[in-house]
Amino acid sequence: MQKIGSAIYRRLVIAIPYAWLLLFFLVPFFIVFRISVSTTAIAMPPYEPVFSLSDSFTDFWEKVSSFSLDNYTGLFDDPLYVNAYISSVIIAGISTLITLLIAYPIAYGMAQAPRSVRPTLLMLVILPFWTSFLIRVYAWIAILKPEGLLNELLMSLHVIDTPLIILNTNAAVYIGIVYSYLPFMILPLYSSLEKLDGTLIEAAQDLGCPPITAFWRVTFPLSIPGVVAGCMLVFIPAVGEYVIPDLLGGSETLMIGKTLWTEFNANRDWPVSSAVATILLLILVVPIVLFQRMQAKAEEAGR
């Protein structure tokens, strides 16, 4: 009886995350995909669905087998969407790299700090989350605009003679993304670095390894899980970012989030917008799945 109860408990624990994924991932994805294969219509909502959940099983499969993928193929014929995907990946990739270069020394310093100080440092990293994300982005407008705080400071120090044009450029987008997602990079890095065994560094130094070499051969390889987790936490939301490029970027800043907003709200083309969102999801999910499989195979080989 006890074994039956424990088996039911294990299955329940496993079923909860699967139910969560089904309810909040697969069902919304199915809804978006259903819209993406629909046709645009002047109605509310502005699309005509190809199939309906009220259809019979036979009608459902007949419609599924005959629906068109014109909304998907049309994306690759329009350079706007292709350039938006490429630009989003480039901006997100560069922002992720900059965030990693800034976050790693911070996380390393936190991990090396006395244990009594670490909770305070951790709270300071989490502190920006207590303020609205939108307010923090708006604050950067006041800092980066030509008559903003940054230019006034630099001009008062006689570093520059004329205000720098940073707002409404890609540089402002990089600054906004790096600032907003920096905690997402610091926290997994700190979690990995804080668990490292300090005796490994001492052993490497006792064997004649200089501190820098010991860092690259011992510390950094052991912190790679934190690096990968932090990069994913920054890169994935940065690719689809809308608020930062809309408020800090200029007219030349092309990202897929702004394109999606324009198609959904301005052009009212929900089927094309859903196709754009579906392809974006595949671009983000497929590499993650492949990486997880490679990591699982590496762990099995190591055993």
Closest CA to 191 of 153, 154, 235, 229: 229
Residue 67 buriedness (CB in 10 A; 0-12 / 13-18 / 19+) = middle
Full-model pTM: 0.85
Interatomic CA distance for residues 292 and 287, integer angstroms = 9
Element (H, E) at 40: strand 39-40
- Give pLDDT, residue 244: 93
| Residues 188-236 pLDDT 10s | 999 999 988 878 887 877 777 888 888 888 889 989 989 988 999 999 9
In this predicted structure, the answer to whether residue 63 has a pLDDT above a threshold of 70 is no
Pairing outcome for strands 47-48 and 39-40:
antiparallel
Dihedrals phi, psi of 205, to nearest 5 degrees: -70, -35
Closest CA to 216 of 89, 108, 63: 108
In this predicted structure, the answer to whether residue 139 has a pLDDT above a threshold of 90 is yes
Q: How far apart are the first and last CA of the chain?
A: 35
| Residues 76-132 pLDDT 10s | 888 888 899 999 999 999 999 999 999 999 999 999 999 999 999 999 999 988 888
Band (51; pLDDT cuts 50, 70, 90):
low
Please provide the average confidence, as pLDDT, over all residues in the chain: 84
Interatomic CA distance for residues 222 and 111, integer angstroms = 14
Bridge partners (DSSP) listed for residue 39: 48
